[in-house]
Amino acid sequence: MAEISCTGFAAAGMACGIKKNGNRDLGLLACERPAAVAGVFTRNRVKAAPVLLDLARVAAGRCRAVVVNAGNANCCTGEQGMRNARRMAACVARELKVDENEVLVASTGVIGQQLPVGRIEAAAPELVCALDPCGFDRLAEAIMTTDTVPKLVWRRGEIAGKPFTIVGTAKGSGMICPDMATMLCFVCTDVEIAPADLQQCLAQAAAPTLNAITVDGDTSTNDTTLVMASGLSGAVARTPQELSVFGELLQDLLGELARMLVKDAEGATKLIEVAVTGAADAAEARQVAYTIAHSPLVKTACFGQDANWGRIIAAAGRSGVAVDPEAMRIVFDDVVLYERGGWTGEAAEAAATAVLRKPEFRLTVDLGRGAATASVLTCDFSLDYVRINADYRS
């Protein structure tokens, strides 16, 4: 992977013995100065200890580092879990010589097991020593669980003639149905921006990207997306126009990470965009899109390359939206397979089946109710999805 850097930041990743396979399982992203920080987190009512800790610390608007482990979620672990999350932050803070309240934490892995925080504490000196301005590839590897490839994206932009950089990494391939974030995503930029503006930019950029994907309809207890800004590039995002430039580039970066997450979903063979058009409003468009994207019957049909439009229209019909089958239209890429209340014939079926053989395609459902639209990225369900999740804890 090409070397990637962002002014003011250094990253590291190493193995500390949490993962059974011995792979990297501990990562660190640190800034040489207090950075503006913003975050979005799971809306699952069951929240992991690191999420609860970060929710309180992000409110201060500044941080110096985030430390993350894979292989253990530190969720549903009670007061001991909260103590372990604080110890995880404290041991890194000591090595960085910063206030522990300026260190955020994140965890991913198995729910309900106490975090072996002693291994993290023992590894902290080596982890901090390993910090490298070009160490983002090691961080990307360290946060993986069932991911098959690391996910790392960078963008360069310019504000008022001043260049700036955004770097982001993410993980997640199962238990993906984000609600304000995704499994884990860490972004850094060298733009100068106020924490409140950064929070607004992140929320706006996450909505159509990280918050518009689903693998299996299960929202994680640990969803965390954090953005840190060092302000060291000389580029400043302060005016509405400057914030728009930064926000658009951030959305572009998060959009690519979102696609990478769904493409690497557990056992996935297809990347599917479910687009709902002709809705009365955006909310009902999203409701129909997610119902179709979550349907196991639709997802398995896509895996089997079966253009089974009956499963799609049935999913739309149970979405809770007052759809009219006579007004609906179902299209695979540009192949119309259903309209005006019926199937469009064998030739269209053959053409739609050819679309389903592609690794990426678009499924459009026009409700014929209005002008609103919504789009969700999802994937198919394969035999491997069942195998991976049946064996996840063993």
Q: What's the N-to-C CA distance of the chain in angstroms?
A: 31
Same fold? 9-260, 271-390: no
Give residue limits of the domains in the chain: 9-260, 271-390
CATH number of 9-260: 3.60.70.12
Pick the CATH number of 271-390 from 3.90.1150.10, 3.10.20.340, 3.40.109.10, 3.30.230.10: 3.10.20.340
Distance CA 107, CA 273 (A): 29
Per-residue pLDDT tens, the chain, 394 aa: give them.
Answer: 458 999 999 999 999 999 989 999 999 999 999 999 999 999 899 999 999 999 999 999 999 999 999 999 999 999 999 999 999 999 999 999 999 999 999 999 989 999 999 999 999 999 999 999 999 999 999 999 888 999 999 999 999 999 999 999 999 866 556 664 557 999 999 999 999 999 999 999 999 999 999 987 778 899 999 999 999 999 999 999 999 999 999 999 999 999 999 999 888 999 999 999 999 999 999 999 999 999 999 999 999 999 999 999 999 999 999 999 999 999 999 999 999 999 999 999 999 999 999 999 999 999 999 999 999 999 999 888 778 777 755 4
Separation in Å, CA 81 to CA 53, 56, 99, 210, 300:
11, 16, 21, 27, 38
Q: Tokens at residue 220, please? A: 């994680």
Half-sphere exposure for 52 (CA within 13 Å, toward CB) = 19
**What residue type is 84 in one-letter code?**
N
Whether the model pTM is above 0.85? yes
How many whole angstroms separate alpha carbon 140 and alpha carbon 144? 7
Element (H, E) at 350: helix 346-356
Taking a C-beta distance cutoff of 8 angstroms, is the pair 123, 16 a contact?
A: yes
Measured CA to CA, the distance from residue 141 to residue 152 in angstroms comes to 9
DSSP character string of 243-308:
HHHHHHHHHHHHHHHHHHHHHTSTT---EEEEEEEEESSHHHHHHHHHHHHH-HHHHHHHHTT---
Q: Which residues are catalytic?
A: 182
Whole-angstrom Cα distance, residue 115 to residue 79?
A: 12
